[in-house]
Structure 1
Amino acid sequence: MNFDGATFAEDGTAGIGVVLRNEEGLIIASLTQRIPLPTSVIEVEAVAARRTLELALELSFDNIILEGDSEILIKILKAGGSSLAHFGNLIADILFLTSHFSKVKFSFVRRQCNGLAHSLARCAFITQQMSVWMDEVLPDLMPVFLADLHSIL
């Protein structure tokens, strides 16, 4: 499961992108959502991680690997403790959501392995509401999906 965030400072919003994949790397679901701009970039990433877990629960996932390109966020989540940071409530939400899965692993990935989630986050700029696709992604993003798939296999 990949997540990413993007900021659109020009209009005070941000976008989140989520990709849920099976063991072979094929898409089970993808999501793009526009949100009010949080106070920091890491908060955008944390909101995206939380939304990824919510979608995974909605789709009855049990064992997950949560992958994102925010090294700081992944380190905080791996530590598993409470955070005194200004976004500590988001960390607490994420850790609470992880308690609903049998197995959770947090993994930092480089941007080139997170391209589809990043592209979905950028697409949120043109959407006014949350969009979810089952077993697919926006047709315009198919080349990005294929590049991502090649990088993880």
Structure 2
Amino acid sequence: MNVDGSWNAEIKVAGFGAVIRGSDMVFVTVHCGSFEDVFSPLQSEAMVVRAGLLWAVDRGFSSLLVETDSLQIVEALMDPCLNLSTIEQIVEDCKELLATVTEATISHQANATAHHLARTGLSLSHCCEWLDSLPSIIVDLLVEESHSSV
């Protein structure tokens, strides 16, 4: 699962995007939307990881490789100590969600498709999810990514 966030400081809104692919890298599902009252890019990235994990767990995924472009979030999630930062509760929520997944790994990796979805999410008033077909807004990016990973 690739996740990314985008933050608009003027209106304190964060957009999020998540893409889940199978182990063969074939598209499975996509999710995007927005959060209000977000006060920093770090808070945005943490909320995005939590939203992606909630979404994946709700759909019954038991094995996840979670990739985010936020090294700070990856480090906070890998630290066994209680996180005492301003995003403490979000990080602890993520750790609890990761513990419910049979096999979970988190890593630092940027993803153009998740980033594009996050930018799109900034303008949405509700969440969108695609299960059986690719959303037209990311078809070209997914095709490009599949060719570059071969």
TM-score of Structure 1 vs Structure 2, range by shorter chain: over 0.9
> How far apart are residue 135 of structure 1 and its match?
3.5
Structure 1 vs Structure 2 CA RMSD: 1.4
> How far apart are residue 88 of structure 1 and its match?
0.5
Residues 93-132 of structure 1 aligned to structure 2 (within 5 Å): 93-109=93-109, 111=110, 114-132=111-129
AA aligned to 1:122 is R
CA deviation string 1:84-124 (max 9, x = no partner): 10001001000011111111111111x3xx01110000011
Unaligned runs of 5+ in 1: none
% identical equivalent positions: 24
AA aligned to 1:89 is Q
> How far apart are residue 14 of structure 1 and its match?
1.2
- For the residue of structure 1 that corresponds to 2:122, the secondary structure is helix
Residues 42-57 of structure 1 aligned to structure 2 (within 5 Å): 42-57=42-57
- Which runs of 4 or more aligned residues in structure 1 lie more than 4 Å from their structure 2 counterparts after TM superposition? none
Aligned length: 150
Residues 23-62 of structure 1 aligned to structure 2 (within 5 Å): 23-62=23-62
Q: 1: distance between equivalents of 2:63 and 2:56?
A: 10
Aligned match of 2:142: 145
> How far apart are residue 76 of structure 1 and its match?
1.3
* Contact kept? 1:25, 1:149, Cα under 8 Å: yes
Aligned match of 1:19: 19
More displaced 10-residue stretch of structure 1: 115-124 or 135-144: 135-144
In the superposition, the TM-score normalised over structure 2's length comes to 0.93
* Contact kept? 1:50, 1:93, Cα under 8 Å: yes
Q: Which structure's residues are more often helix, by fraction?
A: 1
- For the residue of structure 2 that corresponds to 1:10, the secondary structure is coil
* Contact kept? 2:16, 2:122, Cα under 8 Å: no
Distance 1:139 1:100, change over 3 A: same
* Contact kept? 1:15, 1:125, Cα under 8 Å: yes
Q: 1: distance between equivalents of 2:133 and 2:48?
A: 19
AA aligned to 2:134 is V
AA aligned to 1:145 is L
- For the residue of structure 2 that corresponds to 1:11, the secondary structure is coil
In the superposition, the TM-score normalised over structure 1's length comes to 0.91
